[in-house]
Chain A
Amino acid sequence: MSLQVDDLTLYYQTLHGDVKALEGATFSVADGEIMGLAGESGCGKSTLANGLILLKPPMRFVHGSVRLDDEELPVWDTDRMDAFRFRRISIVPQYAMNALNPTRKIGKMTVELLRSRKVDVRSTLPELERRLDLVGLSHEVLGMYPIELSGGMKQRMVMVLSTLLDPSLLMADEITSALDVSTQKAVARMLVEFRDRRFVKSLMVITHDLSILNQIADSILIMYAGRLAEKGSTDRIINAPRHPYTRLLIASLPKVGVRHRQTRLTGIPGSPPFLLHPPVGCRFRERCPAALPECGEEPPFVEIEKGHYVACWRESGTDAEA
């Protein structure tokens, strides 16, 4: 088991009170697994990723535990996390491509990064060059400024950097969303290749785009309004979703071959609740066409078939068997 998250709860502090951005997240990512983390904006997926690696104000750790390779991650302690960050757990942030300092050459920036992490530069250099070859970047990029690289090249560079020390877990936060479809495909395939080559043990791919996950993920975790809604194998989630939210979401996505004149798709009426004062019980309740009286209480996230978890009373309540 590469990553094991138990009951992780993270809030954002604001002047008006705590925003309950993530509550009771319990899930695991197996060795070699590419897990997709999907949901609409504000569902807590980026909070989860940032909470695992850099938990800083206004984000606040409430409770929960995170274990990586059977070792407790002190996520609430930014200083102690230094020992894990980049070495054991790494992230490619959303705007990584723009995060490169434009006035520094790539090579210099790399060396500074390695030094700041107290990594011996000389002994890592051959491996860095080997990996550049692998992703099809010439060694000359090290002497270039970020502006000289295309979007796809920058993305590859950032990925090579963030996985240089073979972390157990790499989180990729919306890294394909700003790219053109052709580049998107290349970057997505590179993620798979990094896993196949064991540069990273397992991956968490955070995106709002389910179709990308359909292409590369082994499993998908769907979040809604700060809570986990459903987790299962990619095939089950895409083709046989059980949570009403997942069902409606997937049904609303246009597919090639579907035209509005023949099949009129529908969205999900309403909008997600505000997490400053979230409703009690199931957070999807007001938009759910299948809501039950039980939904006034929070549904547990339970395993309904092997590896397939759902937080819905219809699946786990007494009448599921009936």
Chain B
Amino acid sequence: MTQQKKRREFAYFALRNNKLRIGVAIVFLFMVLALVGPWLTHYKPREFVAPGAQHPSSQFWMGTTSLGEDVFTQFVYGLRATFIVGLLGGGLGTLIGILIGFVAGYRGGMVDELLNMFTNIVLVIPSLVVLLIIAAYLEVRGFLFESLFIGFFAWPWAARAIRAQTFSLRSREFVDLARLSGMKPLRTIVTEIAPNMMSYLLLVFILQFGGAILTAATLDFIGLGPTNAVSLGLMMNNAVIWGALILGMWWWFIPPGLAITAIVGALYVTNVGLDEVFNPKLREM
């Protein structure tokens, strides 16, 4: 009953939190566009459909590129790619962070120190340099590769935060009692500690999600992104290469730039909003 009450209370504050409402609405809007967008267009993203550099019109909603591709088509396919990279990269980052954070925080001692050292090493590796080296060897890079790469370099702060939380939960007496019941460490983490951190883990995932999107856009923009696909970052990359800025083809680079800013911004706003809802101290009556 109280669980219900609690849920109701959560819903009450969640529905009244403007940051959360705005953030979720924006992300949701783009997600819907990414899902249904490809059905709204008759073209393929790399297809030559019209003479280049057309202004937006009723036929080409966002105009065309210098190469005569439809910008709107690229935009909706790019959105898909962006969300996929966000989910995969952010998911992977969260997962590794959770694994390392839980083990280090629960075990403590030597294990903690070793994992901490590992975390710090990953933290200081210049990921761009590594990517440049890999790029030199790999001719074809897809989204999967990009997501994995982002995930592998994004987890350290998540691991640290989760470790700290686990550490404080571990000293709670109910964990001691679980141990006195002969419960094994893994089971203790999964059944006693993790459920208490669900809201926190959700926040971590949202931040990782936003971070992955931003990183992907950056990589794409500087030409280290996928070689065989379309993404918002790649659109901007192409726009710059083909001189869209100088030629004043604003319709080519403004939509992807705006979308990335909006999505990442909205995710952060959602995060702040959720934090307020989860944390009664931040709530305003």
Touch between chains A and B, by CB atoms below 8 Å:
yes
Tell me, yes or no, whether B285 is within 8 Å of chain A by CB.
yes
**What 0/1 pattern do residues 1 to 36 of A give for CB contact below 8 A with B?**
000000000000101000000000000000000000
Which of B9, B12, B285 contacts A57 (CB under 8 A)? B285
Per the CB 8 Å criterion, the residue count for chain B at the interface is: 3
Closest to B12 in A: A15
Give A13 to B283 CA distance when docked, in angstroms.
14
Can you name the residue of chain B whose Cβ is closest to the Cβ of A14? Answer: B285
Q: How far is the CB of B137 from chain A (nearest CB, A)?
A: 49
Which A residues touch B9, using CB under 8 A?
A: 15
A58 to B9, CA, bound (A): 16
The CA of A57 and the CA of B284, in the complex, are separated in Å by 10
Contact residues in A for B285 (Cβ distance below 8 Å):
13, 57-58
For chain B, residues 1 to 21, give those with C-beta under 8 angstroms from any C-beta of chain A: 9, 12
Chain B nearest CB from A14 CB (Å) reads 9
Query: Beta-carbon contacts of A46-75 to B below 8 Å, as 1s and 0s?
Result: 000000000001100000000000000000
> Which B residue sits closest to A13, measured CB to CB?
B285
- Residues in B with CB closer than 8 Å to A57 are 285
Nearest CB of chain B from residue A15's CB, rounded to whole Å: 6
| B284 to A, closest residue via Cβ | A57
In the complex, what distance in Å separates the CA atom of A244 from the CA atom of B285? 39
Bound Cα distance A267, B232 (Å): 70
Taking the closest CB of chain B, its distance from the CB of A16, in whole angstroms, is: 8
A58 to B280: give the CA distance in the assembly, Å.
Answer: 12
Within the assembled complex, what's the spacing in Å between the Cα atoms of A15 and B13? 10
The residue in A13, A15, A57, A58 that gathers the most chain B C-beta atoms within 10 A of its C-beta is A15
How many Å from the CB of B7 to the closest CB on chain A? 13
Contact with A along B246-285 (1 / 0, CB 8 A): 0000000000000000000000000000000000000001
Residue of A nearest to B8 (CB): A15
In the complex, chain A residues whose CB is within 8 Å of the CB of B12: 15
Per the bound structure, the CA–CA distance linking A15 and B12 in Å amounts to: 9
Q: C-beta contact mask, A81-122 vs B, less than 8 Å → 1, else 0? A: 000000000000000000000000000000000000000000
Residues of B with C-beta under 8 A to A13: 285
CA–CA, A58 and B12, complex, Å: 17
Instruction: Give the Cβ gap from A270 to chain B, nearest Cβ, in Å.
Output: 21
Closest Cβ–Cβ distance, residue A248 to chain B (whole Å):
30
Within 8 Å CB of A58, what residues of B?
Answer: 285
How far is the CB of A173 from the nearest CB of chain B, in Å? Answer: 20
Rounded to whole Å, the gap between the CB of A72 and the closest CB of chain B is 28
B12 CB, nearest partner CB in chain A, Å: 7
Bound Cα distance A57, B9 (Å): 18
Write the chain B residue with the least CB distance to A57: B285
Across-interface contacts of A15 in B (CB, < 8 A) = 9, 12
Q: Tell me how far the C-beta of B1 lies from the nearest C-beta in chain A, rounded to whole angstroms.
A: 13
Q: How far is the CB of B8 from chain A (nearest CB, A)?
A: 9
| Distance of B246 from chain A, by nearest CB (Å) | 51
Q: How far is the CB of B211 from chain A (nearest CB, A)?
A: 29
Bound-complex Cα distance A83 to B285 (A): 26
* C-alpha spacing A136/B15, complex, angstroms: 55
Cα distance A246–B12 in the bound complex, in angstroms: 41
Determine how close the nearest CB of chain A comes to the CB of B9; give it in whole angstroms.
6
A11 to chain B, nearest CB (A): 13
**Which residue in chain A gives the minimum CB-CB distance to B5?**
A16
Q: How far is the CB of B254 from chain A (nearest CB, A)?
A: 44
A173 to B191, CA, bound (A): 38
Report the bound CA distance from A58 to B284 in whole Å.
Answer: 10
Mask: chain A, 227-251; 1 = CB below 8 Å from B; 0 = not? 0000000000000000000000000
| Bound CA–CA A131/B285 (angstroms) | 41
Q: Closest A-chain residue to B13, C-beta based?
A: A15
Alpha-carbon distance A229/B29, docked complex (angstroms) = 60
Per the 8 Å Cβ criterion, residues 65-105 of B in contact with A are: none
Give, as a whole number of angstroms, the nearest-CB distance from A45 to chain B.
23
In the complex, A13 Cα to B284 Cα: how many Å? 12
Report the bound CA distance from A271 to B285 in whole Å.
30
Q: A15 CA to B280 CA in the complex, in Å?
A: 13
**Complex alpha-carbon distance, A57 and B285, angstroms:** 8
CA distance A239 to B285 in the complex (A): 45
Q: How far is the CA of A13 from the CA of B12 in the complex (A)?
A: 15
Report the minimum CB–CB distance from A246 to chain B (whole Å): 33
Bound-state CA distance A60–B285 (Å) is 12
Contact with B along A201-223 (1 / 0, CB 8 A): 00000000000000000000000
Q: Please report the C-alpha to C-alpha distance between residue A67 and residue B264 in the assembled complex, in whole angstroms.
A: 56
> Which of B182-239 touch A at CB < 8 Å?
none
B267 CB to nearest A CB, Å = 29
Chain B nearest Cβ from A87, distance in angstroms: 29
Measured in the bound complex, the distance between the Cα atoms of B285 and A191 in whole Å is: 37
In the complex, A15→B9 CA distance in Å? 8
C-alpha spacing A58/B285, complex, angstroms: 7
Q: How far is the CA of A304 from the CA of B229 in the complex (A)?
A: 89
Min CB distance, B15 to chain A, in Å?
13
Smallest CB separation, B6 vs chain A (Å): 11
Q: For the complex, what is the distance from the CA of A320 to the CA of B224, rounded to whole Å?
A: 91
* A107 vs B81: C-alpha distance when bound (angstroms): 57
**A15 CA to B285 CA, complexed, in Å:** 9
Distance in angstroms from A276 CB to nearest chain B CB is 12
Inter-chain CA distance A276–B9, complex, in Å, is: 17
Chain A nearest CB from B95 CB (Å) reads 35
Please name 5 pairs of A and B residues whose Cβ atoms are closer than 8 Å in the assembled complex, sorted by A. A13-B285, A15-B9, A15-B12, A57-B285, A58-B285
- Which 5 A/B pairs are nearest by Cβ-Cβ distance? A57-B285, A58-B285, A15-B9, A15-B12, A13-B285
